Amino acid sequence: MQTLISSSDFDPDTDFVFEKFKPENQFSNLFNAYAQAFNKKYHRTGSLFEHTFHRKEVDNISYFKQVILYIHNNPVNHGFCSHPVEYPWSSYISCISDAKTKLQRSEVIGWFNTLEDFILIHNRNFDDSEIDHWLGI
């Protein structure tokens, strides 16, 4: 028979250890587990990814705007489409449409001043090396 623990039997300060959720640890665990499974399946060893995962704090609006432009133009830079509006999985479409979204559209557009400015800056040819300045490359 299983014994149940009453609330008087444990001390939350000593019996439970709460750790802050760290996204980098979660990604590390995901990538490591995937690499181990892949390596086991294909009888190989070593890293699957060319570069290790890094993170950089987005600490100012100018950098944040570059990140948004980089993300929206990534499918263009990789040849999947010729403009972000053509890529259906992008938040760009959510930003420019009136459709219901969980995206904080007005806040994102506000960082570019107006919807017209947001569209105008996305219509420019985006040089992805511009983000290198912010990454310290």
Q: Which pLDDT value is given to residue 18?
A: 47
**Domain coordinates in residue numbering, the chain:** 61-135
Q: Among 91, 89, 110, 113, which residue's Cα sits nearest to residue 102?
A: 91
pTM above 0.75, yes or no: no
Q: Which residue has the tokens 């511009």?
A: 130
Q: Which pLDDT value is given to residue 85?
A: 94
User: Helices (DSSP H) in the chain: which residue ranges?
Assistant: 12-15, 23-41, 61-77, 91-96, 105-111, 115-123, 132-135
pLDDT tens, per residue, the chain with 137 residues: 455 545 555 555 554 444 556 777 888 888 889 999 999 999 998 888 766 666 778 888 888 898 899 999 999 988 999 999 999 998 999 999 999 989 899 999 999 999 999 999 999 877 777 666 666 65
